[in-house]
Amino acid sequence: MVTMKEKKKKKHFLLRFLFTLLIVLGILFGVAFGGLTFLLDGRLNAMQRTQAYTKKELNVASEVISYTRLRPVYNLAIFGVDNSGDYTATDRSDAMKILSVSPLTRAIKITSVQRDTLVWIPDPTNDYSKFNHAYWWGGAPLALKTLNMNLDLDLTRYVTFSFSALEQLVNLVGGVDIYLTQAEVYDMQLRNGTIYYDGDRVYHLDGSQAMAYCRVRYTDDDYHRMQRQNNVIQAILSNFKGFGFSKQLAIISDILPYVETNLSNTEIKLLILSAAICDLNHIDQYQVPEDGYNDINVLSYGGYSPLYKLRSYSDTIKNLHRFMYGSRNYQVSPQALQIEENIYATFGPFSE
Is residue 316 over pLDDT 60? Answer: yes
Pairing mode of beta strands 283-288, 107-113:
parallel
Segment holding 70, helix H or strand E? none
Higher pLDDT, 309 or 35: 309
User: Under 8 Å CB-to-CB from 256, ≥6 apart: which residues?
Assistant: 21, 43, 44, 46, 47
Q: What is the pLDDT of residue 19?
A: 64
Is residue 30 over pLDDT 70? Answer: no
22-36, 133-147, 226-240, range with the lowest pLDDT: 22-36
What contacts 24+ positions apart, CB below 8 Å, involve 244-252?
Answer: 245/28, 248/24, 248/28, 249/28, 251/169, 251/172, 251/173, 252/21, 252/24, 252/25, 252/28, 252/43
Is residue 11 over pLDDT 60? Answer: no
Is residue 302 over pLDDT 90? Answer: yes
30-34, 51-55, 121-125, 157-161, range with the lowest pLDDT: 30-34
Q: What is the pLDDT of residue 146?
A: 98
Is residue 23 over pLDDT 90? Answer: no
The arithmetic mean of pLDDT across residues 83-108, rounded, is 72
Find out whether 279 and 106 touch, Cβ atoms under 8 Å.
Answer: yes
Residue ranges and CATH numbers for the domains of the chain are 27-163+248-342 (3.30.420.590), 174-242 (3.40.630.190)
- pTM of whole model > 0.95? no
- pLDDT category of residue 18 using cuts at 50, 70 and 90: low
Give the residue from 217, 207, 211, 208 showing the smallest Cα distance to 184.
217
Q: What is the pLDDT of residue 39?
A: 59
- pLDDT category of residue 37 using cuts at 50, 70 and 90: low
What are the tens digits of pLDDT across the range 215-239? 887 788 776 776 787 678 778 877 8
Give the residue from 55, 51, 58, 59 showing the smallest Cα distance to 69.
55
Give the residue from 253, 79, 231 showing the smallest Cα distance to 172.
253
What are the tens digits of pLDDT across the range 157-200? 999 987 777 888 899 999 999 999 999 999 888 776 678 889 99
Pairing mode of beta strands 118-121, 127-130:
antiparallel
- pLDDT category of residue 13 using cuts at 50, 70 and 90: low
Q: Distance between CA atoms of 54 and 13, rounded to whole angstroms?
A: 28
The arithmetic mean of pLDDT across residues 139-159, rounded, is 97
Q: Distance between CA atoms of 136 and 129, rounded to whole angstroms?
A: 11
The arithmetic mean of pLDDT across residues 278-303, rounded, is 83
Query: Which amino acid does the sequence have at 300?
Result: S
* Residues forming beta bridges with residue 259, ordered by sequence position: 161
Segment holding 301, helix H or strand E? strand 296-301
Is residue 83 over pLDDT 80? Answer: no
